[in-house]
Amino acid sequence: MADLPRRAVTRTARLASLPLGYAGRTALGVGKRLGGAPAEAVLTEVQQRTAEQLFRTLGELKGGAMKFGQALSILEGALPEELAAPYREHLTRLQDSAPPMSTAVVHQQLVREFGAGWKRKIVEFDDTPRAAASIGQVHRGRWVDGTPVAVKIQYPGADQALMADLKQIGRLARAFGGLVPGIDARALAQELQERVVEELDYRLEAEAQSAFAAAFRDSERYVVPDVLAHSQRVLVTEWLDSPTSLARVIDEGSVEERDHWGYLYARFMFEGPARTGMLHADPHPGNFRLVPGTDGAPDRLGVLDYGAVARLPEGGLPRTLGRLMRIALHDDYDEVVAALREEGFIRPGIRIHPDDLRAYLGPFVEPARSESFRFSRDFMREQLQRFQEPGHPEAQIALRLNLPPEYLLIHRTLVGSVGVLCQLEAEAPFGALLEDLAPGFDEPV
């Protein structure tokens, strides 16, 4: 594939065909059931074919279509098991790879960004990409000083494709709801639209990754590759020698592996902001690599892709979040209501009874209540199902709460991180992590 499919009419038609294909397969399934086929077998067949079309199309289009698919893959654990099983294989494919662009286009991009003499700095370059994602792909090379490097190259036309896809997905949100039950496609597409401008500028990514690399340079738990060179559309970093990601642990890891890597993953989400004042905001498993230790050193978690980060105005996660969690753990929901109102989470004139808020927030607080908590797909599924029943009191509470704009990306990242922990089914001392690393959590109530 030489380039992204860029003609708006072509991309729009392919995205619009997804809900139509689902409707057709559903109608066919009804016909099969009338003909005597078991309902469960028909459902599985419909979902399998839908998954194949949905994620093949999202992956081939790249751009915003694939980014939307990757965001869905984080929340896969929230789907009912009878729906999640046929989706899982296709979702996880998007976490590590996508169809590549041609060698000619790759070289054109390098000349455009680094000039005709780019080979004087990148003295070796493998034309076969090692990884591909929503807006770019990664090649292995060697820097002039001998350092193995990863060369991340943005697809031509990625900016137009990103925005066009996400707008189209937002318009088709109602139909996409049938493809992936329980997911608010419109809200997800809109939130992604608000972030993509930063992700398209690799200069910002280089700045963020350099800050994380400096902060974790001597870490015994984490590896962040250094940045060697960058332009707006090409980023050159140290090569991270790690053939597998957290997706492999999700797929086939032992209990011990799930707990070990799950703990490191969860800790990074809090330790990163504490060290850098930024939150790594792209938590899907393909960005987290397993780095075996050498010479007796412990295994470490390699962390890639800093295109999406939340630059935190308080120099870390908001103290309000830690303070609210602590108050909720003490079961003082009169104070929780007052604090939420003070911080703008409850708007003036909106009334919420403390007992209703307790029913709503209680399960979210549960991971921090005990010494150690086992995350699971069942846990994630239960949280989603509480808000899917029309007229359910907890669903009504969710509608009455307000999320201030400065918390939107933080909220999506933390929810996505919990989704990955649930896919891992990892056990972690979540309360201790909050105690050590979450600002405001240790404040007296």
> What is the number of other CB atoms lying within 10 angstroms of the CB of residue 104?
11
The whole-number pLDDT of residue 389 equals 59
Q: 18-56 burial, b if ≥16 CB within 10 A, otherwise e?
A: bbebbeebeeebeebeeeeeeeeebbbbbbbbbbebbbe
The whole-number pLDDT of residue 101 equals 78
The whole-number pLDDT of residue 64 equals 45
User: Beta partners for 227?
Assistant: 237
Superfamily, domain 103-158+198-238: Phosphorylase Kinase; domain 1 (3.30.200.20)
The whole-number pLDDT of residue 396 equals 76
Question: Half-sphere exposure (CA, 13 Å, Cβ side) for 356?
Answer: 14
Question: How far is it, in rounded angstroms, from Cα 417 to Cα 191?
Answer: 17
Residues of the chain with CATH 3.30.200.20: 103-158+198-238
Question: How far is it, in rounded angstroms, from Cα 247 to Cα 265?
Answer: 12
**86-113 per-position pLDDT tens digit:** 455 555 554 444 557 789 999 999 999 9
pTM for this structure? 0.77
Per the CB < 8 A criterion, the answer to whether 223 and 291 are in contact is: yes
The whole-number pLDDT of residue 134 equals 67
The whole-number pLDDT of residue 279 equals 97
58, with CB counted inside 10 A (0-12, 13-18, 19+), is buried
Could you list the mean pLDDT of each consecutive 10-residue stretch along the chain, which spans 445 residues?
46 46 36 39 47 52 51 55 52 51 92 96 96 83 98 86 64 51 56 71 96 97 98 97 91 95 96 97 91 86 94 91 92 93 90 90 89 91 69 72 82 88 94 93 77
**113-132 per-position pLDDT tens digit:** 999 999 999 999 999 998 87
The whole-number pLDDT of residue 200 equals 86
Q: Which two tokens stand for residue 158?
A: 């990625």
Question: How far is it, in rounded angstroms, from Cα 63 to Cα 168?
Answer: 12
The whole-number pLDDT of residue 36 equals 40
Who contacts 230 (Cβ-Cβ below 8 Å, separation ≥6)?
Answer: 202, 203, 205, 206, 236
The whole-number pLDDT of residue 76 equals 56
Question: How far is it, in rounded angstroms, from Cα 184 to Cα 176?
Answer: 9
